[in-house]
Amino acid sequence: MMASERVRLATTPDRFQMSSEGFSPAYRRLGAGELRRRAEEALDLLRECRACPRECGVDRLEDRWAVCKTGRFAIVSSFSPHLGEEDCLRGWRGSGTIFFSMCSLKCVFCQNYAISHLGEGRPVPPQALAAMMLHLQDAGCHNINLVTPEHIVPQILEALPLAVEAGLNLPLVYNTSAYDSMDCLRLLDGIVDIYMPDFKCWDREVARRYLLTRDYPEVARASIAEMHRQSGDLVFDERGLALRGLLVRHLVMPEGLAGTAEVMRWLAASVSPDTYVNLMDQYAPAGKVGAIRFPELNRRITADEYRDAVASARGAGLWRFDQRRRRGWI
């Protein structure tokens, strides 16, 4: 194995490593028949839509929509090998990202506002979505990374058997806000290899003001706990690539508004002290944030705020952190 075909990671105990030899993505063990059965059950959720916790009740199979502004087909903004993800996902050939447009959350600070709020992209039928997965595999990507999939799980499950029957054989990464339907997560059990949820904020009032949904914290807690039940702690192959498990992202916010200390304590106590965490320092004003609207968010975080976040995570008992270079702070 060449040095370029290896990811630099901190020393990892054997219990978090497995050989890539003989590894098979979870969905391939279910078989095409079960994948199609899951897809049919998932599509039924769209008749009176329950695909996300908002449970809007519109008939998306008839191309109607509500908050997510997504009807019968998923809307894709872009798909490509992505080198901006965590090292254990991007490796040396990139993570095969498919960016889905629109979102069930309406975060005022969204870094991808044109995609998640304005719907930049085009609707794609299941055959086209399957072809995108296969294209990314042919490009040499290490995994298929489904970005903002919460509201289009049925459409993903509809496309997956088509891709599998045509030879898809890469780990699936479910890259989510954690505002997920338990019905959809149940259907994903045994299909997703790597769950990568954000945990955006701890407080209901913060969620109401900045995410426009008060129930986000409790939904995120239930979703992340279920993701860990399905996949366990994150494990790597001998090259440092993630193969299976839970990776939690948390964006540190100005003024401690994300409730980082509370989130970290909950992860350590209620999920696992071995949870792999990416404490992200890249918050910057975006979306609807400005000096007039949401002035408290109209700045980047400070070095002290980030150090406090790391200290709170370590103090909670967490120890597995993404090792990418930060802004010269640690």
26-321 CATH: 3.20.20.70
In three-state secondary structure terms, 42 is: helix
Alpha carbons 230 and 220: distance in angstroms, whole number:
15
Residue 14's pLDDT is 82
Which pLDDT tens digits describe the chain residue by residue (330 residues)?
Answer: 555 566 655 557 788 998 988 899 999 999 889 999 999 999 999 999 999 999 999 999 999 999 999 999 999 999 999 999 999 999 999 999 999 999 999 999 999 989 998 989 999 999 999 999 999 999 999 999 999 999 999 999 999 999 999 999 999 999 999 999 999 999 999 999 999 999 999 999 999 999 999 999 999 999 999 999 999 999 999 999 999 999 999 999 999 999 999 999 999 999 999 999 999 999 999 999 999 999 999 999 999 999 999 999 999 999 999 987 555 545
pLDDT at 6: 65
Quick one: angle between helices 153-165 and 126-138, nearest 10? 60
Q: What is the pLDDT of residue 2?
A: 52
Helices then strands, each counted (H, E), the chain: 11, 10
pLDDT, residue 325, reads 55
Whether the full predicted model's pTM is greater than 0.85, yes or no, is yes
Where are the chain's structural domains? 26-321
Contact partners, residue 3, CB within 8 Å, separation at least 6: none
Q: Please, which residues bridge with residue 145 across strands?
A: 97, 173
Using DSSP, state whether 305 is helix, strand or coil: helix
Do residues 230 and 180 touch, judged by C-beta distance below 8 A?
no
Give the pLDDT score at 71: 97
